[in-house]
Amino acid sequence: MTEPLHSTPHDHDDDGAESLAEVSARRLAARTQWQKALARAKDRFAPANLRDEAIETAAEKIGNAADQAAGLAWTHRWKIALAGLLGGLFLGRKPITKAAAPLADKARAQAEKARDALRSTGKR
C-alpha cells in the first residue's frame, strides 16, 4: 500500500551553509528595499512636497472643472443669457416700473381719449 520513503543522502553542512547565505542575502536585499521605500516615503511626504502635490492636484481638478463649465456655458449660452436677462428684469422690476409709470399713464390717457372718441362717434 504505502512504500517506505527512502531518503537520499544529503550533506547537511553544505545545505546549512547555503541556506544561511541565502537567508543573509535575502535579509540584506529586504533591508535595502525597505530603506529605499522609506527614503521615497520621506521624500514624498515631506511638507513641501505634500504642498506641491496638493497644489498640482487642485489646479488640475479646478482646471478640468473650469473647462467643463466653459463647455457647458458655451453649449447653453442662449439659455444662460435669457436667464440672466429675466433675472435682471426681476431684480430691477421696481426701478423699471417707476421709470415706465409716466409712459404707461400717458398711453392710458391716450387710450381713454380714443375710446371716448369712438363712443362719441358711435352715439351719433
Q: What's the rounded Cα separation, in Å, for the pair 108 and 96? A: 17
CA nearest neighbour of 10 among 22, 1, 21, 18: 18
Cα dihedral sign for 23, 36, 54, 65? Answer: negative
Q: What's the rounded Cα separation, in Å, for the pair 20 and 17? A: 5
Q: What's the rounded Cα separation, in Å, for the pair 58 and 64? A: 10
Cα–Cα–Cα angle for 115, 122, 124, nearest 5°?
130
The single residue listed with the C-alpha cell 542575502 is 25
pLDDT tens for each residue of the chain, 124 residues long: 455 555 555 555 555 566 888 888 999 999 999 999 999 888 888 888 888 888 999 999 999 999 999 999 899 999 989 999 999 888 888 888 888 889 889 999 999 999 988 888 866 5
Model-level pTM? 0.39
